[in-house]
Amino acid sequence: MNQELQQYMLTQLEKLMNIDSTTSCCYEIEKYIKGEFESMGYAVRTFNRGGLLIDLGGTGEGIVLSAHADDIGLMVRRILPDGTLMVLPVGGVRPEYADLANVRVYTRAGKVYTGTIRRKSSCVHTNPMENFKKETAGGYDSNLVLVLDKAVSTEAEVTALGIRCGDIVAIEPNFMFADDGYIKSRFLDDKACVAVLMAMAKAAAEKKLTPARHTWVHIAVTEETGMGAAYGLPEDITEFIALDIGCVAPGQYSSEHKACICARDARWAYDYSLISKLCETGDKNGIDYAVDIYYPHYGSDVSGVLASGRDVRGVVVGPGVLTTHGYERTNVKALDNTYDLIEAYIR
């Protein structure tokens, strides 16, 4: 990836991170991404269920490159008598990763309120250590609450603000560029990959990339709750490559510096021949990649497409990410390698 295109990708990543997009509430980020693709000269198809489809050009057998713009988050479940809010997760937000997060509550009247997720008894100086250990296992139902940054102490005062059950709670991503090319933020899953595809579309629009096959970009907004990209796809496609995060953890081959190819997730063994072709592409072009298995708690847009019965070969490719579904970290080298691998493959 050249420096100009890399800078565009990183700029778009930061902009995407600054747009809250908890699953089921992705209107603003869809509007932004649509506008960006249209500014490149693309016609963008939208769907009633959310999501975007962009034709990058090319001829022959069709291939879809997908990434999802929705984030995990929370939802208001109940307003408690003391003016705090009980919440529950939208997608895979573990309670211990939500604890102490700054959040924004989106009301149906259009108002936004800030707050923090805290334990009900959060003061170290007054809470015995054994209580902290017990409360860690308490989870959303018995232990964690959302404390609003408003002077409220009753259910009626919160209700008067317009907050009610079902309101979306977006978690602050805390995005930052760090030393040695590291990028830290919540929701690198999967906005990092959206930024990669936006860079690829820019290269195609500027005639710096000509796909050898008919290539489509699909931006999904329902992946984190399992629906994924299994709708609105072109009929003539034979391959579906989801760009999604690789899981960096003990016992894994994935790295924060590599493009990661998923051979199997919690449900599916992905297409062996397609994985082999991607490996061959990586080897031939000197791209740093790893093949890995993400089990037992991983799914992707490919999962939804395969479950829908579409006759396609599918696989997941993406940058290695540390602390997935928490405060995540990757490296710009992983984004570069992911871009280079996919670009080389569709050429």
Task: State residue 139's pLDDT score.
Answer: 80
pLDDT at position 107 over 90 = yes
- Check: CB of residue 290 under 8 Å from CB of residue 254: yes
**319 strand-pairing partners:** 259
Residue 325 assigned as binding residue: yes
User: What band does 304 get if pLDDT is binned at 50, 70 and 90?
Assistant: confident
pLDDT tens digit sequence for 123-141: 888 877 777 666 656 688 8
- Whole-angstrom Cα distance, residue 36 to residue 19? 14
**Which tokens hold the place of 179?**
């030393």
pLDDT tens digit sequence for 305-346: 998 899 999 999 999 999 999 999 999 999 999 999 999 999
- Whole-angstrom Cα distance, residue 177 to residue 332? 10
Task: State residue 269's pLDDT score.
Answer: 95
Closest CA to 202 of 33, 63, 328: 33
Helix H or strand E segment including 16? helix 3-17
- Whole-angstrom Cα distance, residue 302 to residue 314? 6
Task: State residue 17's pLDDT score.
Answer: 98
Residue 189 assigned as binding residue: yes
More confident residue, 299 or 130: 299
- Whole-angstrom Cα distance, residue 30 to residue 221? 8
Residue 257 assigned as binding residue: no
Q: Mean of the pLDDT values across residues 49-66?
A: 95
User: What band does 226 get if pLDDT is binned at 50, 70 and 90?
Assistant: confident
User: What band does 6 get if pLDDT is binned at 50, 70 and 90?
Assistant: very high
- Check: CB of residue 281 under 8 Å from CB of residue 290: no
Report the mean per-residue pLDDT for the chain. 95
As annotated, the active-site residues are 223
